[in-house]
Structure 1
């Protein structure tokens, strides 16, 4: 099936193929940024609707079938030159890899491509390079999960290697719980990506978002998540804070750089999840591309660093460096909280069963810590997902405006 929006002739030579999309509230920002850099071709599982104004063409394909994606892309390539391919979801990495190979598009390193969809390969590369990591083991069957559990020991975490739902990780304290946890993780993972068994590490979880700079990959923002130990069997994030002002900031940046080097990742935005333990950061996973257009939008609103455009230019084989003076600033993130023990927004007073995503706090004073700095800390509450998105945008815009006013007053 082929659908076409008005063809764009401006921008760099060749079209950028984008694999997959999502709800307009989350993805429109990304499509706007990518289309501003050159014409786009969308390969998705449903026909485009709101995406049409940003596209030069589109085709329908099963994104988990790399051969079908290649066939549909070749149909577009017959009349339009292809400059690169960009995917957000890790489950689409294999299709993106095949397109790069068959259409001679800009490529990433072999190690990077192999490690992205299979977390145990990431573990092997990190261990070989001497980077502390979670020691995750991969399992495609219950027998493999059982063997991995004996190697890891209890308690452990059983989770999808590439989840298609939130809150899919399970805490397992003994063998009687393993079968149920493995079944739940398998049901929540994309076909062919398997399940991960890893130790249950103490400490908070953090994700470092990196951008290209003249000195190499640099941390743009750090998100922190804590987990409710009473929320069994699922591990539910109870709070997520993006805040680069942390005593572990320098260690996080060093770990992120070493992890990317271990995978051969030299350029393009990346995300490094890690657990901040008493002995320092331990890497959980490395994703050598963006996975969340919403967090990228919020990072740009607060820091001025446009990760989506950088990802698009990198996919086209171009170089895009971030402004070094903006690196290390604060960004924003949210996840739903369990329980009803936190304050609800006024609009949710009549719905006591609805839990907020987070609480809004803001720090006006800028504080430098090593190579990183904090200029704000944003959390918002809301009764549903769209409301939180709207409030995050408003809060981020207010913070950005305050920063500009302060800068003009200096």
Structure 2
């Protein structure tokens, strides 16, 4: 391609899952020419990109080489990712190209939860007691010192992989096996398993934008977590006028600042404990489970476009254009087995509030609940609704759930 023929483009690193991240690429591509760095050549997204490079997106050297190849063919305005596991390689590329973005140490700190906890403590950010361990024996000592219940989690994973609550010493050996198995597959930024204080209270996330080190909280996501002792997220609700926002925004901003994060979108998870909001972790990218889509439906704020603007050194448009609630219900099977029935009537004309129904598993496929199942094998599908209030959104999700027919055969 001719370099002179192209406008400055935005490089997107990874994050190309069409179901959960397709909207991110589509919304960014509506504003910028896109070049893609991914492990495979573009397929479904081919019409959205002007150029691409194939590279291992978890390998910093490979990403930098791919980015330099793109920069040799095009002027580059910015680099962005919404993939948790490519945050550090993306920061490496940003530094090499001299573009706006986060530093490698800041992204490494956000990826390694042990480093995050240490920085929260150093900066007085309310969080959880945490100890990194490498053996069951070490976990037992840390758990006794922390006090049950505790949470075990891999230090640098995401999507609740390997995360489990432990209520008693008797449960610890089996829980250790589960967490350690997850830790074997975690990213290179961290190591081992964390033994952490269990935080009591509802879980929320705060969706933030940071530019030049100044953080603004944009929305609160109320979460529904199920399948204890695991932490499967099965639903999210975003409202434009959530009264929690003023209370949680300062805590989220302090957590972002403690990690040295200076730019981009952050998904800051916390629990609303009896002593106040306490940080679970800071994810330096757009939240998963289509939370960015919920934010846009509820507030009009376009998180992928905002992320793209910040990456390109532009001031993002933070004008709220809608006022309401959007919610997603993620459908899990009633049991592990072969899916025999999956039906929901979606053609009703009196449901303009039913924004999206997506199936992830077809009849005849195997589905598995935790702990055997993961995000790929456990989820059957999801539906997204809009409403004028959280209560109305919950009612609509409940009505759809009541009409949903699911069955499995062992």
TM-score bracket relative to the smaller structure:
0.7 to 0.9
Distance 1:10 1:322, change over 3 A: farther
Indicate the residue corresponding to 2:183 in structure 1. Answer: 186
Q: Secondary structure at the match of 2:11?
A: strand
Q: Distance in 2 between matches of 1:308 and 1:130?
A: 31
For the pair 1:273 / 2:297, whether they are aligned, the reply is no
After superposition, the CA RMSD in angstroms is 3.9
Structure 1 contact 65–95 (Cα < 8 Å) conserved: yes
Indicate the residue corresponding to 1:401 in structure 2. Answer: none
1:284-295 equivalence runs, <5 A: 284-292=280-288, 294-295=290-291
Structure 1 contact 239–334 (Cα < 8 Å) conserved: yes
Structure 1 alignment gaps of length 5 or more: 367-373, 384-410
Q: Distance in 2 between matches of 1:81 and 1:138?
A: 43
Q: Of 388, 391, 394, which aligns to 1:364?
A: 388
Q: Distance in 2 between matches of 1:364 and 1:42?
A: 37
Q: Of 294, 305, 309, which aligns to 1:309?
A: 305
Distance 1:360 1:79, change over 3 A: closer
For the pair 1:259 / 2:259, whether they are aligned, the reply is no
Indicate the residue corresponding to 1:41 in structure 2. Answer: 35
Q: Distance in 2 between matches of 1:263 and 1:358?
A: 33
Q: Distance in 2 between matches of 1:214 and 1:329?
A: 30
Q: Distance in 2 between matches of 1:139 and 1:115?
A: 18
1:169-208 equivalence runs, <5 A: 169-173=163-167, 174=169, 175-187=172-184, 189-194=186-191, 195-208=193-206
Structure 2 alignment gaps of length 5 or more: 336-341, 346-358, 368-378, 403-410
Q: CA deviation at 1:212?
A: 5.9
Q: Secondary structure at the match of 1:308?
A: helix
Q: CA deviation at 1:96?
A: 0.9
Indicate the residue corresponding to 2:294 in structure 1. Answer: 298
Q: Distance in 2 between matches of 1:361 and 1:107?
A: 34
Distance 1:164 1:226, change over 3 A: closer
Indicate the residue corresponding to 2:338 in structure 1. Answer: none
| Range that drifts further, 163-172 or 248-257 | 163-172
Distance 1:27 1:156, change over 3 A: same
Q: CA deviation at 1:262?
A: 2.7
Q: CA deviation at 1:160?
A: 3.0
Q: CA deviation at 1:146?
A: 5.1
Indicate the residue corresponding to 1:88 in structure 2. Answer: 82
Q: Of 215, 218, 234, which aligns to 1:217?
A: 215
Cα deviation, 1:47-103, whole Å, max 9, x if unaligned, reads 111111111211111111111111222222222222221111221111112112222
Q: CA deviation at 1:250?
A: 3.0
Q: Of 323, 330, 347, which aligns to 1:335?
A: 330
Distance 1:247 1:134, change over 3 A: farther
Q: Distance in 1 between matches of 2:311 and 2:250?
A: 25
Q: CA deviation at 1:123?
A: 1.5
| Range that drifts further, 216-225 or 309-318 | 216-225
1:5-404 equivalence runs, <5 A: 14-108=8-102, 112-139=106-133, 145=139, 148-163=142-157, 168-173=162-167, 174=169, 175-187=172-184, 189-194=186-191, 195-211=193-209, 217-228=215-226, 231-237=227-233, 239-243=235-239, 248-292=244-288, 294-323=290-319, 330-337=325-332, 339=334, 346=344, 364=388, 379=397, 381=400
Distance 1:299 1:10, change over 3 A: farther
Q: CA deviation at 1:251?
A: 1.9
Q: Secondary structure at the match of 2:174?
A: helix
Distance 1:153 1:326, change over 3 A: farther
Q: CA deviation at 1:153?
A: 3.1
| Range that drifts further, 235-244 or 111-120 | 235-244
